[in-house]
Amino acid sequence: MRIEANPLPLSPFRWSVFVEDEKRFYQMNVDTLKNNSTFNSFEKKHVPAGLNHGIEGNNIIGKVENLEIVKTYLWFARFPVVTVKEEAEGYMVEYFDLRFNSLPPRRPFLLKVFVDRYGSLKHAELMFHTIK
pLDDT per residue over 25-57, tens digit each?
A: 999 999 999 988 889 999 999 887 766 554 454
Residue-range domain boundaries for the chain: 2-127
pLDDT per residue over 50-107, tens digit each?
A: 665 544 545 888 889 999 999 999 999 999 999 999 888 899 999 999 988 866 667 7
Which run of H or of E encompasses 111?
strand 110-116
